[in-house]
């Protein structure tokens, strides 16, 4: 097998980083593993495809000067928060061309969300299921407010914010001691029309956490522009905890101002997080808070 063939088998390219290549490798292993479609007749060719995928990954890693020795064993190798309140299911949705196949349940445990391996929508689905399972076990009514509060507490137990930020952020630079990642958000509310009239692109902002929301404040004037929202739900569980971390340097600026329907205005912002290279997340444990909501 040539190196070119190896990249083709994994659907990868030389511009992919190590995490992207590993993710593609793992997804192919899951696709051809018998547990990916329980009850479906096993295709004899799948074992050969697994062998080719492993060989392709070995070829790429060794071309980078790294030794690769792995026996294929099907397992979900994400980090586990052993003190998380509940286990959850891991779901993967495979696709054949553009057709989405039924969800496959790949594992169950107290696994931390890995953005390289698990779609956020499927991750949040699994946590919501666990939330409802716990409420059934404790025989409490699943009223919307209680479900919401327990769900958010459980989500926090399965996310390592700094690790996730390194995987889903747009990396701007690396100065050796810190890596800087950029994320985008926006301010859009009833009051933003008048505020937008007096702000300019590139205006520097302070971003800080207040009542579980990211608040944008003009750095020079101290004027509050409003709460920052994100297009991707995952960012609420990644960025908000990092805003409170004293080891992380936060900077932000306005990148654009758009008028949207009914005369409302949207102020676009870019948030840069400088994360120390040696910073490691400490898993959150919300067991006592969750128990309090289950009484």
Q: What is the pLDDT of residues 7-59, one digit of tens each?
A: 998 888 888 888 788 888 877 877 776 555 555 565 667 767 877 888 888 88
In a domain, 47, yes or no: yes
Same-domain check for residues 149 and 211: no
CATH of residue 41: 1.10.287.110
How many domains, in total, are found in the chain? Answer: 3
Same-domain check for residues 57 and 101: no
In a domain, 70, yes or no: no
Which residues pair with residue 214 across a beta bridge? Answer: 209, 228
Same-domain check for residues 288 and 147: yes
What span, in angstroms and rounded, lies between the C-alpha atoms of 212 and 224?
16
- Check residue 72 and give its pLDDT: 46
- Check residue 30 and give its pLDDT: 73
Residue 195 scores a pLDDT above 60: no
Average pLDDT of the chain, as a whole number: 86
Residue bearing the bigger pLDDT, 105 or 178: 178
pLDDT class for 96, splitting at 50, 70, 90?
Answer: low
In three-state secondary structure terms, 167 is helix
Q: What is the mean pLDDT of residues 231-244?
A: 95
Q: What is the mean pLDDT of residues 248-272?
A: 88
Same-domain check for residues 185 and 253: yes
Same-domain check for residues 154 and 183: no
Count of Cβ atoms closer than 10 Å to residue 223 Cβ: 12
Closest CA to 90 of 78, 72, 98: 78
What span, in angstroms and rounded, lies between the C-alpha atoms of 228 and 216?
6
In a domain, 246, yes or no: yes
Same-domain check for residues 96 and 236: no
Domain of 100? 88-160+284-293
In a domain, 99, yes or no: yes
Q: What is the mean pLDDT of residues 164-182?
A: 95
């Amino acid at each position: 097998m040539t190196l070119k063939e190896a990249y083709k088998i994994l659907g990868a390219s030389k511009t992919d980083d190590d995490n992207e290549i590993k993710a593609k490798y793992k997804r192919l292993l899951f696709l051809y593993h018998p547990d990916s479609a329980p009850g479906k007749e096993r295709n004899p060719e799948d074992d050969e495809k697994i062998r080719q995928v492993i060989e392709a990954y070995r070829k790429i890693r060794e071309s980078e000067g790294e030794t690769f020795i792995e026996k294929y064993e099907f397992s979900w190798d994400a980090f586990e928060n052993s003190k998380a309140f509940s286990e959850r299911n891991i779901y993967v949705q495979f696709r054949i061309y553009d057709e989405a196949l039924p969800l496959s349940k790949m594992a169950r445990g107290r696994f931390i969300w890995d953005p390289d391996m698990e779609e956020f929508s499927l991750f949040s689905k699994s946590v919501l299921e666990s939330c409802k399972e716990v409420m059934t076990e404790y025989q409490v009514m699943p009223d919307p407010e209680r479900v919401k509060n327990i769900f958010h507490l459980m989500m926090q137990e399965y996310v390592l914010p700094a690790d996730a930020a390194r995987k889903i952020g747009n990396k701007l630079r690396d100065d050796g001691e810190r890596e800087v990642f950029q994320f985008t958000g926006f301010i859009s509310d009833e009051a933003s029309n008048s505020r937008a009239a007096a702000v300019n692109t590139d205006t520097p902002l302070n971003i800080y956490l207040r009542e579980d929301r990211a608040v944008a404040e003009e750095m020079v004037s101290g004027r509050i522009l409003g709460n920052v929202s994100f297009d991707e739900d995952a960012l609420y569980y990644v960025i908000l905890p990092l805003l409170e971390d004293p080891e992380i340097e936060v900077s932000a600026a306005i990148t654009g101002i758009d008028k949207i329907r009914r005369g409302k205005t949207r102020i676009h912002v870019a948030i840069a997080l400088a994360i120390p290279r040696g910073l490691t997340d400490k898993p959150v444990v919300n067991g006592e808070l969750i128990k309090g909501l289950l009484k």
